[in-house]
Amino acid sequence: MTDATQNQWAMRDPLTQYARPPFPRQPMDAPGTTDQMTPAPNHGETSYKGLGRMEGRKALITGGDSGIGRATAIAYMREGAEVAINYLQEEASDVEGLKKLFEAEGKTLHTFPGDLTEEGFCTSLVKDAAGALGGLDVLVINAGKQTAQESIFDITTEQFDRTYKTNCYAMFWLAKAAIPLMPKGAAIITTTSIQGSKPSANLLDYASTKWAIIGFTKSLAKQMTERGIRVNGVAPGPVWTPLQPSGGQPQDVIENFGDEVPYGRPAQPAELAPAYVYLATQESGYVTGEVIGVTGGNPTA
């Protein structure tokens, strides 16, 4: 496995760049935390080098404590942005580690714990984050709920409702609150999944939300054109995050997680962050209504 401290520009074999299965079983209670995972996920802590592409930008990231959100927060900070994150209180230990990383680099991480399944919280989150940041230029809607169930008969109405509220309702509430605060040139970035176009049998509720996110992203992008706000999405394949061993997949899948894709391994969160940087910056100024697949070789269409 390639040394994770190498900067992201060094040429490497993508098949062996990061850990490959098999992985040990590691059951944990949802939502799970990074420090419980073996091997430890790579969020770019020592490898991501910024170029100042987000100087002056103000970004809010949901689910910013771990996984893709954490890697994006680190990348945005190193690109010069002011960053705020949302997370669940149960994930506070991950947040403390991230805050220390920011502070060690002379930066401030603005943190807002709370439950995105509540409309009132989503509305106040956007308002409070914009107040703390001094504005809002980038909204990354990333937090998600995933619980594997073998049959539709195993999915309770409570699970179905919470999955949709976390993955879809919150997206609607957050975007609706953020848009009036965002200037021309701002960006909204959603997180869908390859599951949206190629669903697994055991992720019925999750996969259907990810399909809905694609439609929401493309439709909202058309509405926002005249406002000068770009709306795009990222569609990850399998990514090594706490979402997976904390109920997102059964433990027998965790042992071989990612081996089904052409690369034969899951992505590390650090491999997703550059897509979120691209979609937040002027480098993607002519891109809206698109979904970038980061899937290890599995096309999204």
Query: Residue ranges of the domains in the chain?
Result: 47-294
Residue 8: the pLDDT is 75
d(CA 268, CA 243): 13
| Residue 4 pLDDT exceeds 80 | no
Neighbours of 226 (CB within 10 A): 8
The catalytic position among 76, 87, 169, 206 is 206
Residues in the chain: 301
pTM score: 0.96
Mean pLDDT, residues 141-170 taken together: 98
Neighbours of 5 (CB within 10 A): 9
H-helix or E-strand containing 215?
Answer: helix 204-224
Burial 103-114 (b: 16+ CB within 10 A, else e): eeeeeebbbbbb
Residues 56-102 pLDDT 10s: 999 999 999 999 999 999 999 999 999 999 999 999 999 999 999 99
Active site residue 164: no
Residue 2: the pLDDT is 42
| Residue 257 pLDDT exceeds 80 | yes
The pLDDT confidence band at residue 301, using thresholds 50, 70 and 90, is confident
Architecture of domain 47-294: 3-Layer(aba) Sandwich (3.40)
Q: Using CB atoms within 10 Å of the CB of residue 289, give its burial: 0 to 12 exposed, 13 to 18 middle, 19+ buried.
A: middle
Mean pLDDT, residues 210-218 taken together: 98
Mean pLDDT of the chain, nearest integer:
96
Q: Using CB atoms within 10 Å of the CB of residue 196, give its burial: 0 to 12 exposed, 13 to 18 middle, 19+ buried.
A: buried
